[in-house]
Structure 1
Amino acid sequence: MSLFQKILRRIEVTLLYFLGKARGVFAPGRFGIKRGYRHRKEEVFWDDTQHTDECQKEVYELARFYLDKYGYRQVLDIGCGSGYKLMQQFADYPTVGVEVGTTYAFLQQKYPDRIWVNAAQPDQIPRQTDLIICSDVIEHVVNPDELLQLINKIDFKLLFLSTPDRDLVRGWYSYGPAENKCHIREWNTKEFRRYVGAHFNIISHQITHIEDATQLLICKKK
């Protein structure tokens, strides 16, 4: 990047930052995110059926470590995508995967011997399990309160909840919307901890993959 480009970028960043601050006078903070942040209003479907473990692999590996450490058995994966990571790490244990329509149909066909739940039928989600994985899902939903309330109705021992860290993805000055058009919003680490901490007890908060900007909360019920 040339010196001229760096100067233009610095001017752009400064303008975006102050525009966000000004917007914050009228736009309240939502879901723990700072005032003035621009949230998208509609979900855009993300087709994960052709992906394997390119992202969030370490989240599933860490969940498997805790399962072995504490002798847990049951795993519930909310937003399991292609199911590849769930099967790679937990094929030897009882699992339930939750996904939306077309992905749900894909999972039923690819892994007919496993249990899958259509996200449109939340009453079919088990109300008891040992581990819950919800990896890079929360940024895709319009109302994350509903997702966390659904999880809170389940009797679980550990929750693994991950999402991209906005500051690593876009920079501290970003007021949205997210660059990824399938993301309704993105949290930085402080915001995410504050938001989720109002619902669950957080026992660990870490960046698990710097290149993917993955932040992971490991939580217990309050």
Structure 2
Amino acid sequence: MHTDTTTSRQPIGGAGTYFIRSGYRSRDQVEYFLDETDDTVTWQPDVYPYAAARAKELGRDVVIDIGCGRAGKLASLAHEYPAWSFIGVDFGDNLVWCRDNHPFGEWIEVDLESAERLPVSSSLVRRSIVVCSDVIEHLVNPAPALSLIRGLLVEGSAAAVLSTPARECRSGHDAPGPPRNPSHVREWASDEFQALLKASGFEIHYAGLTRSDDASNGLSTQLLLVGLEGTEGEQR
């Protein structure tokens, strides 16, 4: 793995490039990401345990998983916390698979590039924490998904846990793109992604690196805890 932890000589971009540096090339379109699990490797193994720990600290017992895929890690949380409620949000074959194979949870079909609101009762939202784990990089336009997450926070969700690749740790700050992974539209360096979140109305309570997988154990995935702009949050 190529690792570049130095600061780029180029400034971060603006809203038109989702704050990615000048010269970066995103994909115009990607194929549907079918979440077919490889049992030998767990990707982002620490994100959902982190979210569960924050939920317990904040007194929440509902997890809303935005872009849940086949919800394997959500299933692990359901096994560990059987009294909690779980809501998985996705579309297409991944969501069909969840409905057919998971005996727990509520499965909501939503296009994350166009939806404005989730059909979830306010009483559940006020008991929730939101997770969006390695989803943003798959979206041609991430703005609707970020707006959807912010809307849940406005409705009373305690916080949102986000993860996405850290480009500076994988190919360098100034890598021209597109990403090596053909299902990724773009990948942000950490300072770029934090700028995007702040511009989208989020307050960042924690930002760091976490393991990309449990095979290499390399710290090349961004992990963030966010709330609404101007709110107090857990610094962890």
TM-score (structure 1 length as normaliser):
0.82
1:103 to partner: Cα distance: 0.6
- Structure 1 match to 2:233: none
Rounded to whole Å, the distance in 2 between the matches of 1:37 and 1:146 is 22
- Structure 2 match to 1:174: 175
- If each structure's helix is expressed as a fraction of its own residues, which one has the higher value? 1
- Structure 1 match to 2:47: 59
- Structure 2 match to 1:9: none
SS in 2 for 1:76: strand
Question: Structure 1 stretches (4+) deviating beyond 4 angstroms?
Answer: 121-124
- Structure 1 match to 2:99: 108
Rounded to whole Å, the distance in 2 between the matches of 1:83 and 1:120 is 17
* Per-residue Cα deviation, 1:8-67 (whole angstroms, up to 9, x for no partner): xxxxxxxxx9xxx8xx9xx99510111111011112222113246711120101011111
- Determine what percentage of the aligned residue pairs are the same residue: 31
Map 1:103-182; keep pairs closer than 5 Å.
103-120=94-111, 122=115, 123-126=117-120, 128-129=125-126, 130-154=128-152, 155=155, 156-182=157-183
SS in 1 for 2:146: helix
Aligned-residue Cα RMSD (Å) equals 2.4
SS in 1 for 2:183: coil
Aligned length: 199
Runs of 5+ in structure 2 lacking a partner?
Answer: 1-7, 212-216, 230-236
- Structure 1 match to 2:37: 50
More displaced, 174-183 or 29-38? 29-38
1:140 to partner: Cα distance: 0.2
1:112 to partner: Cα distance: 3.9
Runs of 5+ in structure 1 lacking a partner?
Answer: 1-16
Rounded to whole Å, the distance in 2 between the matches of 1:67 and 1:142 is 30
TM-score (structure 2 length as normaliser):
0.77
The higher-RCO structure (CA 8 Å, 6+ apart) is 2
SS in 1 for 2:17: coil
1:74 to partner: Cα distance: 1.1
Rounded to whole Å, the distance in 1 between the matches of 2:197 and 2:20 is 11
1:218 to partner: Cα distance: 0.3
Choose 1 or 2 for highest CA Rg.
Answer: 1
1:87 to partner: Cα distance: 1.6
